[in-house]
Amino acid sequence: MKLYLASQSPRRKQLLTDLGVAFEVLSIEVDESTKALESAEDYVARLGEAKARAGLDILAGRGESDVLTLGSDTTVVADQDILGKPRDYDDFADMMERLSGRSHRVFTSVAVASHESVEVKVVESRVVFAELEPEAVRAYWDSGEPQDKAGGYSVQGLGAVFIKRIEGSYSAIVGLPLRETAQLLTKRGLAVWSGALGRV
């Protein structure tokens, strides 16, 4: 069965490559707006599944049926508020003020779908930021890294210097929870780099 990653994210492509599975990439479009009273966990689960299903729709149009698609979404939550990608510097600076010196949660979903069924897992992690100086916040924005990142920072990039501690799955914070992804793929009969992962 052929696997497709329903994402153009270079981080997710690298993480899935690290699992040692063969896959191709699909470019998909989904509405990422939140719904009223929707929790962060429900939000990322819905988007992960929506991306996987959008991939299936593209493949169905090509006449491909014996396929699996993988969709994923990550969001940062502070004070119950979902922090998306910063609109501009002021929005970014407000995010950094909310994260500075505090812990926040990161939710990441992974969905694996076929034309018969879809299964979704959501992973919650916690990140603790150091106190941030205004000069560091401005310099980080000027680096160009925060502009397309949920919550305004990249855990595997320059933003790592702001982080005091991580509790949970590092790979999930980057963009794809590898343990849960391995579980879902081996359940569907795809071999990852070690057959032992099918038993985790």
User: For the chain, what is the largest distance between any 2 Cα atoms, rounded to a whole number of angstroms?
Assistant: 54
Residue type, 119: E
Selecting among 73, 79, 88, 94, the annotated active-site residue is 73
Q: What would the two tokens of residue 121 be?
A: 């897992």
188: helix, strand or coil: coil
Q: Print the SS3 string covering 117-170.
A: CEEEEEEEEEEEECCCCHHHHHHHHHCCCHHHCHHHCCCCCHHHHHEEEEECCH
Identify which of 161, 190, 152 has the alpha carbon closest to the alpha carbon of residue 3.
190
Question: Is 66 one of the annotated active-site residues of the chain?
Answer: no
Residues whose CB falls within 8 Å of the CB of residue 45, separated by 6 or more in sequence, listed in order: 109, 111, 120, 122
Ramachandran region, residue 59 (left: φ > 0; alpha: ψ -120 to 50; beta: rest): alpha
Residues labelled as active-site residues: 73
